[in-house]
Each structure stands twice: as C-alpha cells, then as structure tokens.
C-alpha cells in the first residue's frame, strides 16, 4: 500500500538528517536561543527581505495557529476565515479553546475574498457580538488552490483600512510558491501580511514551522505565550538546524517543486483518463472526482482520503510530497487506467 494521504508520511530529507547527526554531540543552549536557531533566523530574514522581523520556531502547525491567534486577540475578539479553513475544520476547536470565535465565510475556490471580510464586519456591529480583529488565510489552501499577488494585495489593503491583522498559514507555502501559476515571492508574503509561517513539517523537515512576525504590536512577550502553551522546545536547536538546511542552496524550493512535479504527473494522467477535479489546484494537493467502483479498486493499492462522499461519485484527496517517486505516480495511473476501461 502506497500512501497519497498526506505530505508528511516520510521522515526527513537526508541532508537534514545528516546535519542533525553531524551535530548530535555538540552542546547547545536551550529553548531556541542557540547558534543554529539564530543563524536560521538570519537566513530567513534575508530570504524575506525583512531584517526587522521576529522569527520563532514552533513544532507544529496547530500550535503555531493557536499561539499566534491567542496572542493577537483580546478576549472579545474573533478571527475570520474561509469555511474550509484549517483552524475551522482540522484543529479540534483549538482556537475556540483559547476563548476566541472563528467566523467562517464561504470564500471562492477555498480562498477568502475582500467581500467575505466586509460581510463579516458589517454583521458584527456592536458590543453584543464578537469583534472581528484578525483575518486568517492559508497558501496553498485546504482545497489546493493558491492566492495571486493581486488577491493578497487586496486582502492586505482591506485589512489595513479596517485595522485587522492578516495572518497567513504557510504549512504548504513552498508548494504554493513553486506552483506553475504562482506570481508571489517570499518577500511579497512578508510585505503583505502581519504574521505568517513557513511550514517545515510538510516540506521535508522532521517537524517544525518558522513563524515570522512583522507587525510591531504582535512582537512583545510572544515567547511567554509560546512557553505557556507548551511549545517552547527545550531542544530548540533541532528546529534551527532543519531550517538552516532547508534554506541553504534552495533546498526548500527544490523539495516543494518536486512535490508539485509529482502532482502534475497525477493531474495530467487523471485528466487523460477523462476525470475532472473539484477545484483548480496546481499545487501538491489534488481533488479528483471518481466513481465509487474506481475508488474501491484504487483503495486496494493506495491510501488516500475521501474529501466529499457522494452516492455514485466522490471527491478524493491525493497529496504528493518531497519523497514521492515517479514510479508510484505511474503505478497509480496504471491502476486507474485499468479500472477505467
């Protein structure tokens, strides 16, 4: 059984494991205040073109989301996101557990629009309701789509006008930035958001996310919240080493490009078999629509998730990773062709 269920089924890229092994017996300071984390911070600041940015390393995405949102919002404030947003669907109410309401809007192709934000603001008008204060988006999105530069600029300008924080979840940011339809650079992301993170867990690292804070109001005492939420890793240098490697010689983009290339093989092969997709995705997540009989046949050899269950046809999710091989993509398409005849 080969898994297309996610992009973190494998361990880590060999260069990362080699770096950890090479430094295994070197003593380091704790809690992210070591030379590896400090060097990784400087590399990331150079990459995003923001020497004034604060960079924090956190183990996982859910921790990063709840710590960031919990720090930014006052007790009566809420965060706006698209209905498919990770903080709404896949984090077990983590944001609500911090005492903050998640305001969900319909969006378009998995992306939040300025009209969604305005609608949320117009509805929440006084002290009898929660006060929207943050906008949460992800790039790439939960449906595999991605924001264009014009779309992100529109969100940025509206958030500035309405005094809202703009937070971008970058768990799969590498895949978005290396997509064939992308027109954003890392520096654009840093310039057009108040806080965002660079995902490592789904990009070839063992684990870890690099949170980048540019808005001055969000910087003070952030480490206190990280510690309180149990996310200040004692062996923080393990995170720093991984991001040092990811951003040395373009490894981060190389691995993300590979995952997209493997998704392209699947996407073109699925189209050639006559099937359509639920969303126009060009990243490493694909959402093809298959008949139930085809899905049952594929499940004998492959692991994947059912995104939307139907009576005769369902949407499945296929995810490729930095370690996905052409051979496994070819195997999937061979089985698909056989059961599609």
Q: What is the pLDDT of residue 77?
A: 98
Q: Can you tell me whether residue 62 is helix, strand or coil?
A: helix
Return the structure tokens found at 61. Answer: 């995405």
Alpha-carbon separation of residue 216 from 33, 58, 204, 212 (angstroms): 21, 20, 31, 12
Distance CA 44, CA 311 (A): 48
Q: What is the pLDDT of residue 251?
A: 98
Alpha-carbon separation of residue 124 from 70, 76, 117, 121 (angstroms): 20, 12, 11, 5
Fold of 2-7+253-340: 3.90.1150
pTM, full prediction: 0.97
Q: What is the pLDDT of residue 309?
A: 95
- What is the length of the chain? 341
Return the structure tokens found at 76. Answer: 């009566």
What letter would DSSP give residue 216? Answer: G
* Residue 260 burial class via C-beta count within 10 angstroms: exposed 0-12, middle 13-18, buried 19 and up: buried
Distance CA 329, CA 264 (A): 10
Q: What is the pLDDT of residue 271?
A: 97
Q: Can you tell me whether residue 184 is helix, strand or coil?
A: coil
pLDDT digits (tens, 9 = 90+) for 120-161: 999 999 999 999 999 999 999 999 999 999 999 999 999 999
Q: Can you tell me whether residue 247 is helix, strand or coil?
A: coil
Q: Give residues with Cβ within 8 angstroms of 107, minimum separation 6.
A: 82, 83, 84, 113, 116
Return the structure tokens found at 66. Answer: 């709840």
Q: What is the pLDDT of residue 307?
A: 95
Fold of 14-246: 3.40.640
pLDDT digits (tens, 9 = 90+) for 214-272: 999 999 999 999 999 999 999 999 999 999 999 999 999 999 999 999 999 999 999 99
Q: What is the pLDDT of residue 340?
A: 80
Alpha helices in the chain (DSSP H): 14-22, 35-48, 61-72, 86-89, 94-97, 114-123, 149-162, 173-177, 186-192, 222-228, 237-246, 251-272, 292-298, 326-340
Q: What is the pLDDT of residue 154?
A: 98
Return the structure tokens found at 237. Answer: 């240098």
Domain locations along the chain: 2-7+253-340, 14-246
Long-range contact pairs involving 221-227 (C-beta distance under 8 Å, separation at least 24): 222/54, 222/56, 222/71, 223/56, 225/67, 225/70, 225/71, 226/56, 226/58, 226/67, 227/31
Q: What is the pLDDT of residue 317?
A: 98
What is the number of H-type helices and E-type strands within the chain? 14, 13
* Nearest residue to 36 via CA among 53, 55, 52: 55
* Residue 213 burial class via C-beta count within 10 angstroms: exposed 0-12, middle 13-18, buried 19 and up: buried
The stretches in the chain having pLDDT less than 70 are 341
* Residue 39 burial class via C-beta count within 10 angstroms: exposed 0-12, middle 13-18, buried 19 and up: middle
């Amino acid at each position: 059984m080969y898994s297309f269920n996610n992009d973190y089924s494998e361990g880590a890229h060999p260069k990362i494991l080699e770096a950890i092994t090479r430094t295994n017996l070197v003593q380091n300071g704790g809690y992210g205040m070591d030379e590896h984390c400090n060097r990784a911070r400087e590399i990331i600041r150079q990459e995003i073109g923001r020497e004034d940015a604060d960079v924090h390393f956190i183990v996982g995405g859910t921790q990063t989301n709840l710590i960031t949102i919990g720090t930014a919002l006052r007790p009566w404030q809420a965060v706006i996101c698209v209905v498919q947003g990770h903080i709404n669907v896949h984090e077990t109410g983590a944001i609500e557990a911090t005492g903050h309401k998640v305001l969900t809007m319909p969006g378009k192709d998995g992306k939040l629009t300025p009209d969604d934000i305005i609608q949320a603001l117009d509805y929440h008008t006084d002290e009898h309701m929660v006060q929207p204060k943050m906008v949460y988006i992800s790039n790439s999105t939960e449906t595999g789509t991605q924001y264009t530069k014009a779309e992100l600029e529109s969100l940025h300008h509206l958030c500035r006008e309405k005094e809202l924080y703009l937070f971008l979840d970058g768990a799969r940011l590498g895949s978005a930035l290396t997509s064939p339809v992308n027109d954003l650079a890392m520096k654009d992301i840093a310039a057009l958001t108040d806080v965002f993170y660079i995902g490592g867990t789904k990009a070839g690292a063992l684990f870890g996310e690099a949170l980048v804070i540019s808005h001055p109001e969000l910087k003070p005492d952030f480490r206190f919240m990280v510690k309180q939420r149990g996310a200040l890793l004692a062996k923080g240098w393990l995170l720093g080493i991984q991001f040092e490697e990811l951003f040395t010689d373009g490894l981060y983009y190389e691995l993300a490009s590979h995952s997209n290339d493997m998704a392209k093989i699947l996407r073109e092969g699925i189209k050639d078999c006559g099937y359509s997709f639920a969303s126009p995705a060009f990243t490493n997540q694909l959402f093809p629509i298959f008949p139930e009989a085809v899905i049952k046949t594929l499940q004998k050899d492959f692991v994947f998730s059912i995104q939307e269950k139907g009576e005769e046809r369902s949407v499945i999710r296929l995810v490729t990773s930095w370690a996905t091989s052409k051979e496994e993509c070819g195997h999937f398409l061979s089985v698909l062709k056989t059961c599609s005849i």
